[in-house]
Amino acid sequence: MQVALLGGTGDIGEGLALRLARDTDHEIVIGSRDEAKAAEAAESYEQTLADHGVTATIASGENSEVTATANIAILAVPAYYLADTINAVESQLDGTILVSPAVGMKRDDDGLRYNPPGVGSVTQLAANTAPDDVPVVGAFHNLAAGRLSNLDADLDWDVLVVGDDQSAKESVCSLTDAIDGLRPLDVGGLGNAPEVEGLTPLLINLAANNDGMHDLGVKFW
């Protein structure tokens, strides 16, 4: 299976690319609006993996190019770029599952606040923007990117997965489960995305205000 990370040059893209390339046999491809930037990132990720004893090939290309052959495309972009990114690759989405990990947040004097778009969640915005026949799944919202990209760090996190297409959701859960230390949990339909996305600013605020809680994730018992 081919997994494309659109905007995969950023922090969450880096972490997912490294973990997927190390822990799975899937073909990992880095996308960007700037093809040269994608190639540079892919080369850097390959070197990081090599430094950890892992030989892997990570391909790269412009976002629409890598989407054309992807089975799963992860929108590893900030919430404010999400709709533009989907619109740019719309014609290449035939048979592709779109995954949105983005969360809308804003900062005030007390910390970060959940700041969803008018449709209720960023995941729902992705679904509304994508063509009707393209399944959209929300996942990876609550992962601490710094720890995710540190291959010396063990993970023990749950990944909350939402979506209305059960088959697409199962595919994303299977992909998640293949990453060491991640356990996918089905949270139901897209209507439950606000509760999942709203955990992210909470985790960041906890980490900022309590010693020893850097790079928090969630775990359910």
End-to-end Cα separation, the chain, in angstroms: 31
CA-to-CA separations, 9 to 19, 105, 159, in angstroms, rounded = 14, 21, 21
Mean pLDDT, the chain, whole residue set:
97
What pLDDT, on the 0 to 100 scale, is given for residue 37?
97
- Strand pairing category for 157-163 and 182-188: parallel
Tens of pLDDT, residue by residue over 69-115, are: 999 999 999 999 999 999 999 999 999 999 999 999 999 999 999 99
How many angstroms separate the CA atoms of 70 and 2, rounded?
Answer: 5
How many angstroms separate the CA atoms of 14 and 125, rounded?
Answer: 24
What pLDDT, on the 0 to 100 scale, is given for residue 195?
97
Q: What is the CATH number of domain 2-209?
A: 3.40.50.720
Residues 6+ apart with CB under 8 A from 104: 79, 114, 115, 116, 117, 122, 197
Whether pLDDT at 214 is above 90: no
How many angstroms separate the CA atoms of 211 and 143, rounded?
Answer: 19
- Of the pLDDT bands very low, low, confident and very high (cuts 50, 70, 90), residue 213 is confident
Domain residue spans of the chain: 2-209
For the residues 43-67, what does the mean pLDDT come to? Answer: 97
Whether pLDDT at 212 is above 90: no
- Of the pLDDT bands very low, low, confident and very high (cuts 50, 70, 90), residue 141 is very high
How many angstroms separate the CA atoms of 6 and 87, rounded?
Answer: 12
pTM of the full structure: 0.96
